[in-house]
Structure 1
Amino acid sequence: MQSNRRNLPQLLGDARRWFEEGLLSALEAAGAMPVTPTQAQLFAVLDDRGTTVSELARRMGVTRQTAHQAVHGLIAAGLLDQTPDPASARRRLIRRTESGERTHGQAVAILERLEEQLADRIGRETVAALRTALETPWGPPPSPAPDGR
């Protein structure tokens, strides 16, 4: 008999989609440039100093091609730009434009409101426990045992 219990990765994926859908709909309602979930994720992993496309892909867990497409869509929208990497003539750094900084600021504020709404729905203690569990270092993923388990 198969259990209907969903595994933790499925539940975490649903939670992520809840925040993404709330964020994207709130940004759209505020008149911000529409972005895809992949582009929103890219914004979340982009650091202020600038980040290469390869590093963005690694942080997002996607292919370099997927990250490259998301970057170029955001460049075309005027939210990101590319600059030469002072450490390497072959690499380019991806950074937010002024408009991208404004949009990022809006997104941060929206995510804070969504977290407050979640706390109102499921309880502040539950949200605090969830945050604590997710902020606790998990260590590297386990390696398979020598017997394949």
Structure 2
Amino acid sequence: MSHRAANLPHLLGEARRWFEDAVFASMEAAGEQPVTTAQASVFAMLDAEGTTVSELARRIGVTRQTVHQAVHGLIGMGLLEQAPDPGSARRRLIRTTSEGRRVHERARAVIGLVEAVLAERIGRAGVDAVREALTADWGEPPLVRAP
């Protein structure tokens, strides 16, 4: 991971890209179909019973069109499917197929292995400190006065 980024948001972004690069490359090396960052984000935000495109967009923080494109790519790969929402005849739920669940579980295992490599490189205490800081309650985003 490079250290060109001087501020925390950039460092966090570089850390995320480091993980994604490792996970995506490892999954492809294991013979899995390549996915994009947007497609991986869809998987991370899906509820077990399914989630609407609108809700996925809200959770990920992107437009419905962006999620729609990612979802349809994953449907084409056989990893997701659309199903009627029992709570509304107008909505469709996006959910994983059995193949999608298999790939998602494999990706979760790979993430654990990549985290173990990181712990070897920076120490378990460092990984634990990062996890503790990122899972702490930061409260609402502050509104600060720009200098």
Normalised to the residue count of structure 1, the TM-score between the two structures is: 0.92
Say which SS state the counterpart of residue 91 (structure 1) adopts.
strand
Q: CA deviation at 1:61?
A: 1.2
Tell me the number of residue pairs that the alignment of Structure 1 and Structure 2 aligns: 144
Deviation at 1:142, TM superposition (A): 1.0
The reply on whether 1:105 has 2:108 as its aligned counterpart is no
User: Offset of 1:144 from its aligned partner?
Assistant: 4.2
Residues 5, 46 of structure 1: alpha-carbon distance in 2 compared, 3 angstrom cutoff:
closer
Give the partner amino acid of 2:21. E
Query: Counterparts of 1:47 and 1:15 in 2: how far apart (Å)?
Result: 25
Superposition pairs of residues 1-149 of structure 1, within 5 angstroms: 6-144=6-144
8 Å contact from structure 2 (residues 85, 93) kept in 1: yes
Q: 1:115 to 1:91 in 2, by over 3 A?
A: same
CA contact (8 A) 2:82 2:94 kept: yes
Once the two structures are superposed, residues 12-50 of structure 1 have per-residue CA deviations (whole angstroms, 9 ceiling, x without a partner) of 000000111111101101111111111111111112111
* Alignment CA distance shift 1:132-1:71 (3 Å): same
CA RMSD of aligned residues (A): 1.4
One-letter code of the match for 1:43?
F
**Deviation of the 1:90 alpha carbon:** 1.1
% same residue: 60
> What whole-Å deviation, never above 9, does each CA across 1:89-116 have from its counterpart, x for those lacking one?
1111100001000000110000000100
Q: Give the Cα separation in 2 of the matches to 1:102 and 1:83.
A: 19
Change (3 A) 1:5 1:91: closer
Runs of 4+ in 1 over 4 A off after TM superposition: none
TM-score normalized by structure 2? 0.93
Distance 1:59 1:21 in 2: 22
Q: Judge conservation of contact 2:28–2:34 (CA < 8 Å) in 1.
A: yes
**Shift of residue 143 of structure 1?**
2.6
Instruction: State the alpha-carbon separation in 1 of the partners of residues 68 and 76 from structure 2.
Output: 12
Contact 2:74 2:80 in 1 (8 A): yes
Describe the superposition over 1:40-72 as per-residue Cα deviations: whole angstroms up to 9, x where unpaired: 111111121111111111111111100000000
